Structure 1
Amino acid sequence: MNATATPRFRQFALWVMLGFSAGLPFYLFSTVLALRLADHGVGLVVIGFFAWVTLLPTFKFLWAPLVDRYAVPGFARYWGKRRGWIMLAQLGIAASLVALAVTSADRSLPLTALFAVQLAFWTTTLEVATDAWRIELAPTPETQGPIVAANLWGYRSALVGAGSVTLILADWSGWTAAYLAIAALAVAPFPVLAAMPRGPEGEGGRAAALTKGVLATAVIIATLILVTAVVGAVLLHLASQAGIDARTNVTPVVLGICLLPFILLAVALPRIRRARADDRLRASPAIGPYVDVFWRFGYAALAILLFVSLYRMGDVLALTLAKPLVKSLGYSLTAIGLADGVVALAASIAGVALAGWLVMRVALPWALAAGAVAAALGNWGLVWLAHQPVGTAALYLATGADQFGNGMAGAVFVVYLSMLVNPRYPGAQYALLSGFAFLLPRLLAGASGAMQARIGFVGFFWLAGGLSLAALLVLPFVARARAREDDR
């Protein structure tokens, strides 16, 4: 291997590893957790409520500025700020998985929810740190394409592989062993990062930095668990007082909440557009990075937000009930796990590879359109599966189509969101845009159980595919959106 190829290979391997770290836990607080709850007799409506755990990543903009601004004690002093946050998040992920393993009988659903929230938080924090680093290193579509492809290959490999391994182990050895196995995998990249050379501005010794960083991590994790438990108890009490339970039809309320961000932004935009560079809205370290998005795009920001909300909505809705649908058709956990491992991984990687090639060869709007069509066809593949006799070939075909579309749409979407970001605020703005992109879909996903109870599995997945295509109606408007030049 020549001198030029070696750094490129190392960079590729680094981004694959970072993607692997971020993708490993996701299904374990979403799809796999839904199957685990169903396996313990929890109703679909309550399982739908658990989909709201995945709302946490949509609010990552609330703490993303902290990741940009502050450093993790110990880790950052030696390895640098970005790697320090990544190392902290990996330890948080491993600790949360162990907690979910210990409580795998799900005798206390609030306790299961508490540790699922912890897992979602640390997974999201890892993504925030990684995304900020990626955008800093690659500010153009041409440079983003290869890095995004490498990152998503690792992400999708871990996402699908972890789901597959967890289900097979759960069928053979129980849910506790399955979650502990993934916890061991989750902590595996940590020593690799700890063995890496000191950062450009790092100082001190490796051992001292590692010791201080691990101690600080333990304090941070314990504090977060305590705060989350208190907030969760208050929310459960308020829901009980409001009469919300498993029989409540929450869909109309959720749809009303979904409209609020657009209404509030429409009211605020005239004030934002008039703001000068020294205005407190734009100069504020807390909200300035977010205001900048709407200052630059103006009213086109409303079309952009509508587009990004619709683009992945079908996949997010399908994610909640896809595995319960397949299990209800008569497939075992092992059969589902093998389909995920044998077919889904290859199909997902192929979808990501095609997306990476497309964004370098064609205009981004055309790549976005192709991704939306692939996602819709993948969702409708589950409708087709529901009408087939139970069989390996049908399961593999439907799973492959679903994961190919998901991987292709996801990769193109990451590049599109990255191009909307002002390089002045990479971490915060990407967190805002990617978070909002999944806010409305995940709000609706929490009502997916109630929706399925009214229209059935087949109707639900027809709807999911249709919502993926609905984004194409807005695409011509966002394709013409141009950002205002920065006046600072």
Structure 2
Amino acid sequence: MFILATLPLWLVGLRIYFQRQVLAIFVLGFSSGLPLMLVFGVLSFWLREAEVSRSDIGYFSWVAMAYAIKWLWSPLADHLKIPLLHNRLGRRRSWLLTSQIMVAVAICSIALTDPQQNLALMAALAVVLAFASATQDINVDAFRIESAAIEMQAALAAAYLTGYRLAMILASAGTLWLAALFSDGPGYDLAGWQHAYLVMGLCMLPGIITTLLSHEPVSGLMQQQRTEGSVLQRLLAWLKQAVVAPFIDFFQRYKWHAALILALIACYRLSDVVMGVMANAFYVDMGYSKEEVASVSKIFGVIMTLVGAALGGILINQFGIIKVLFTGAILSAATNLLFSALSQVGYDLMWLTLVISADNLSAGIATSAFIAYLSSLVNLAFTATQYAMFSSLMLLLPKFTGGFSGQWVDQLGYSNFFIMTATMGVPALILITLLARLSHTTADKKAAK
């Protein structure tokens, strides 16, 4: 106790990140973040090296739309028991384990595919990976929210984001390094990419082990009452409880403010997601090697991701979610302008380092604030369904719009394309401002009463 008393207050506060449940969320965040880059991000680098056109790469990004429609099957995670595993592991862990195994198998299957010979097969496998990964995200989010009280959600969000972003960097920089390591020489080598993806498949093991060793969280799910009658009547009763009730609950709690909230969720990540679709193709076209992109991402990307995630959690505790949400939106749009400048500068490792560092820092701050914001909107009675609805809406418009990014680059060039994506961040700033003012007005009215 004396030692703790003599330590700086901020250092004592870091103890929360070493609690068992926070560490578990960190690893599960890693497990969630790993497939995201493999389903498209680094895959676009592979496709571009394999001489797939930018337009096709843009359309290929639509496989990630699975993340944007995951709310369609998210009620199953709340209400459907997986045979055999449910009784042994519980609802959340049984769903987690099943989805994690599917992700690992899908990654390894992509590793055995040649995009030059069968691009359609690779696209189909990428769709399978995206659906398995989205299912894992649904259950990790529900597991995270149900694992602790609201007071710990900021720490859990920061741990989740740190694990998530580290996995994204490993899946991008690590895969690029491995692909270069396993290649016979510079340039495109199919075997190098295939071996790299097989290694990434093995990286799902920590998440699987954590799922098996974790405790099943106490769920706030509303138990569905037993319904007598025909199969159709029971099905309709289940749909009402599992699908309709979560949506009704959200609109009842937020009333007409719900429309503004949903609009903000829909466009908050528009700027960085649309830009990100073409990022790896941009690196290839600018002449950066796999090793160079991997080195910069691994060193400076990791540092800035950790700083951004930690800083986001600290700022939220100090200034509240809305202010940090606004700051994150500004930073995310501003870093796109740095990409535009890089396209004008040309091949320059120092500029690449600056751009990737700034991009990861802003993403860390913005994403930690956004995760905390979405978590605050959830009713624990419908954890998986409501959070999946929010996180799906978050990606629906950006992912759909990003599918046209290859065409826009061909028409506008990289510099103007990045400027255009920066302007896509303006609507989010306007909506955050409106919601902040409405929140103050509502609070003042309540205080007056």
* 1:25 and 2:25 aligned: no
Alignment CA distance shift 1:198-1:420 (3 Å): closer
The structural deviation recorded for 1:199 is: 4.9
* 1:176 and 2:194 aligned: yes
* 1:416 and 2:426 aligned: no
Q: What are the Cα deviations for residues 357-412 of structure 1, in whole angstroms up to 9, with x where unaligned?
A: 11111132111111111111222221121122423221111111111111211111
Q: 2:67 aligns with which of 38, 57, 61?
A: 57
| RMSD between aligned residues | 2.5
Paired residue for 1:134?
144
Gaps of 5+ in 1: 202-278, 484-488
Superposition pairs for residues 251-266 of structure 1, below 5 Å? none
Superposition pairs for residues 267-346 of structure 1, below 5 Å? 283-346=240-303
Aligned residue identity for 2:112? V
Paired residue for 2:129?
119
* 1:151 and 2:160 aligned: yes
Aligned residue identity for 1:193? T
Aligned residue identity for 2:75? P
For 2:244 and 2:45, the matched residues in 1 are separated by: 39
Superposition pairs for residues 185-196 of structure 1, below 5 Å? 185-194=203-212, 196=213
Aligned residue identity for 1:61? W
Identity level (%): 31
The structural deviation recorded for 1:6 is: 9.7
Paired residue for 1:383?
340
Q: Secondary structure at the match of 2:365?
A: helix
CA contact (8 A) 2:115 2:122 kept: no
The structural deviation recorded for 1:139 is: 4.9
For 2:43 and 2:125, the matched residues in 1 are separated by: 11
The structural deviation recorded for 1:186 is: 1.5
Alignment CA distance shift 1:158-1:197 (3 Å): closer
Alignment CA distance shift 1:105-1:58 (3 Å): closer
Alignment CA distance shift 1:192-1:436 (3 Å): closer
**TM-score (normalizing by structure 1):** 0.78
For 1:282 and 1:199, the matched residues in 2 are separated by: 25
* 1:95 and 2:52 aligned: no
Alignment CA distance shift 1:104-1:9 (3 Å): farther
CA contact (8 A) 1:65 1:427 kept: yes
Aligned residue identity for 2:200? I
CA contact (8 A) 1:89 1:123 kept: yes
For 2:206 and 2:18, the matched residues in 1 are separated by: 23
* 1:42 and 2:52 aligned: yes
Alignment CA distance shift 1:72-1:280 (3 Å): closer
The structural deviation recorded for 1:322 is: 0.9
Paired residue for 1:444?
401
CA contact (8 A) 1:106 1:112 kept: no
CA contact (8 A) 1:315 1:375 kept: yes
For 1:309 and 1:197, the matched residues in 2 are separated by: 33
For 1:460 and 1:197, the matched residues in 2 are separated by: 45
Q: 1:397 aligns with which of 354, 357, 360?
A: 354
The structural deviation recorded for 1:280 is: 8.7
Alignment CA distance shift 1:469-1:346 (3 Å): farther
Paired residue for 1:371?
328
Alignment CA distance shift 1:372-1:281 (3 Å): farther
Paired residue for 1:67?
77
Gaps of 5+ in 2: 4-11, 183-191, 219-235, 444-449
Q: Secondary structure at the match of 1:103?
A: coil
The structural deviation recorded for 1:321 is: 0.3
For 2:239 and 2:404, the matched residues in 1 are separated by: 36
CA contact (8 A) 2:78 2:242 kept: no
Aligned residue identity for 2:70? K
For 2:408 and 2:429, the matched residues in 1 are separated by: 24
* 1:362 and 2:319 aligned: yes
For 1:451 and 1:334, the matched residues in 2 are separated by: 28
For 1:409 and 1:169, the matched residues in 2 are separated by: 30
For 1:120 and 1:190, the matched residues in 2 are separated by: 18
Question: Which piece of structure 1 moves more, 84-93 or 99-108?
Answer: 99-108
Alignment CA distance shift 1:197-1:176 (3 Å): closer
